[in-house]
Chain A
């Protein structure tokens, strides 16, 4: 079974500072990994995804994440935080075997989320 663990349910950073949101995964087969963002009272939007191509993945709004197999991690970073980055962030995992065994149905498993607060 696959799972993700997000370390830190709340993270606060100053505007202009580095953003680092942590995600570790567990999967018995090579994973696909995703970061989603949820702004208040909205649905989730895809930030970026890793699908076994480049290990450093760039997403929208200046975010990027690096897949590290040896550390089973997929941490999300942004060099300089902006007030508009305040939101909740979710890491998610799916896997190739799930996709095949479920006739292409991609079941994502989500982490519990990290709420990012930006301090002016």
Chain B
């Protein structure tokens, strides 16, 4: 099925370890996003990419880096994981070429990350 695919679905890291969360979409969308979801705080934007080759910080970028590898893929990297980064991470994409229609996002199913 077409959509947004995230890997892995679950991950446990030790403090200080690094890892990369992968995201790929097959809908030919231009814009991609990384959010984290924490209880009582909703979804907060970490980084986004308006198009291939561009990335920008969102609301909570500290401790993260991103790479827009190509139009399909947008990865999120934790260089030195901290317990405060325990969260559920969602990748999303949207169709930039129909922006004024308020297209909305298509979300992946999430990565549940625990840092111990």
Q: Which residues of A contact B (CB under 8 A)?
A: 9, 32, 34, 36, 41-46, 49-51, 90, 94, 96, 99-100, 102-108, 110-113
Contacts and interface: CB of A to CB of B under 8 A. Distances in A.
Contact of B90 (A43, A46, A49, A107): A43
Interface string B14-32: 0000000000000000110
Given A102-B50, A103-B50, A112 B96 contact: no
B107 A49 contact: no
Interface of B: 4, 30-31, 33, 35, 40-45, 48, 50-51, 58, 90, 92, 94, 96-97, 99-110
B42 A106 contact: no
Contacts of A32: 102
Contact of A46 (B51, B105, B108): B105
A102 B94 CA distance: 13
Nearest to A4: B42
6 contacts: A99-B100, A104-B99, A106-B94, A108-B45, A108-B104, A111-B42
Nearest to B30: A104
B43 to A, nearest CB: 4
